[in-house]
Amino acid sequence: MVLHILRGVFLLLVASVTMLYVLPFQADRGVQFGEVLLMVGLTLGIAGAIVAADILIRRKRLSALSGVFLGLIAGLLAAYALSFVVDLIGLLVAPDDPAAREAMAKLLQGVKVLIGLITCYLGISLVIQTKDDFRFVIPYVEFTKQIRGPRPTLLDSSTIIDGRVLDLAGTHVLQGPMLVPKFVLDELQLIADSSDRVRRTRGRRGLDLLHKMQSDPKLEVSIVDMPAEGATVDQRLVALAQEIRARLMTNDYNLTKIARLRGVEVINVNELALAVRPVVLPGETIGVKVIRPGEAAGQGVGYLEDGTMVVVENARHMIGREVQLVVTSSLQTSAGRMIFGRYEEPAGGEPGGAAG
């Protein structure tokens, strides 16, 4: 809105300055009115082209007021430097007739004012659009939003749908506010309105869990409407995390990799769950329910409560029952941890374990 007002004022000032300096030039030199209109139209055309080029650059967010003043100062300095060039041109093309020379001087004065308007406009627009990188031009000067206190954590839709973040936040391991961008909320709503039953269920689950998190007085969860660059939700999440210097919490493997490549700190819930799983040492005895046969002969497969797959030797005939096994080894893979063990028949040949 402010930039639209700036553009309108800029065009109005360009037209006013042009008329102010061209009309006396017309009176002194006897220029035809049609030529005056042509000069005014040409000037407004140049100003309109500058505004159009500015509009085509999509990055239009108003920065801090200090950024506007800085751009204005830069524009005035540039106009002052270019005024010497205009004066030099005036000396080179100055006519011999005193009246014509005075008219030319007035016209060049108007040209210098016009150049000042253009440089000030471009200076303000440039600072507004490149405020995040301005510290590379002037060290220690930047207009990015400063985050005080603990760093916020951005949540993506996969984390909210997963639901473990609710229990994780309840342990107070996460410090600082948790932010859900509005475009992530829109994505959840889109999933909840899907014609596919599974996606619809996942979306509604995510919305319910988000409501529970907001209702918990111990948690600080906010819906924020912050603009961010990017064609996809993942790209916008990474861009927003970079802009506000937040951490990103997700379950998405690809998003985790991309965010880390771009220097964003990521909390992957799957990696966190993997890190806090209990370590099972060879020789220990654990209990597991065998639910299906394994790939090798005699093997049975079960799962612990945290999802760890357990491969049990000599337990194929115990499918559907709870068995006690001796751990022989464990294997860490990209898909998670696997435990290998051996089931031994109890003394007397009676099968151990209760029916499931």
For residues 48-55, give the mean pLDDT: 81
- pLDDT for residue 103: 78
For residue 59, pLDDT over 70 is answered with no
Q: Cβ distance 152 to 244 under 8 Å?
A: yes
Q: Is the pLDDT of residue 10 over 60?
A: yes
- Distance between CA atoms of 108 and 21, rounded to whole angstroms? 9
pLDDT at 355: 41
pTM of the model: 0.45
Q: What is the mean pLDDT of the chain?
A: 78
If you average pLDDT over residues 127-139, what whole number do you get? Answer: 56
* Residue 247 pLDDT greater than 80, yes or no: yes
Q: At what angle do helices 233-244 and 253-261 cross, to 10 degrees?
A: 40
Q: What is the rounded distance in angstroms from the CA atom of residue 166 to the CA atom of residue 174?
A: 11
Q: Report, as an integer, the average pLDDT of 20-39.
A: 67
Is the pLDDT confidence value at 223 over 80? yes
Give tens-digit pLDDT for 65-107.
666 777 788 888 888 888 888 888 877 877 777 777 777 777 8
User: Mean pLDDT, to the nearest integer, of 39-67?
Assistant: 71
Predicted confidence band of residue 316 (pLDDT cuts 50, 70, 90): confident
- Work out the average pLDDT over 201-228: 84
**pLDDT at site 333:** 62
What pLDDT score does 335 carry? 57
pLDDT score at 106: 78
For the residues 209-230, what does the mean pLDDT come to? 83
Contact at 8 Å (CB) between 313 and 346? no
> Which residues make Cβ contacts (< 8 Å) with residue 36, sequence separation at least 6?
22, 23, 26
Spelled out in words, what is the top-level CATH class assigned to the domain 285-343? mainly beta
Residues of the chain with CATH 2.40.50: 285-343
Residue range 153-275 forms a domain whose CATH class is alpha beta
Specify the domain boundaries for CATH 3.40.50.1010 within the chain: 153-275
Q: What is the pLDDT of residue 32?
A: 66
Reported for 138-143, long-range contacts at CB under 8 A and 24+ positions apart, including other chains, are: 143/63, 143/64, 143/66, 143/67
What is the rounded CA–CA span in Å between residue 134 and residue 120? Answer: 17
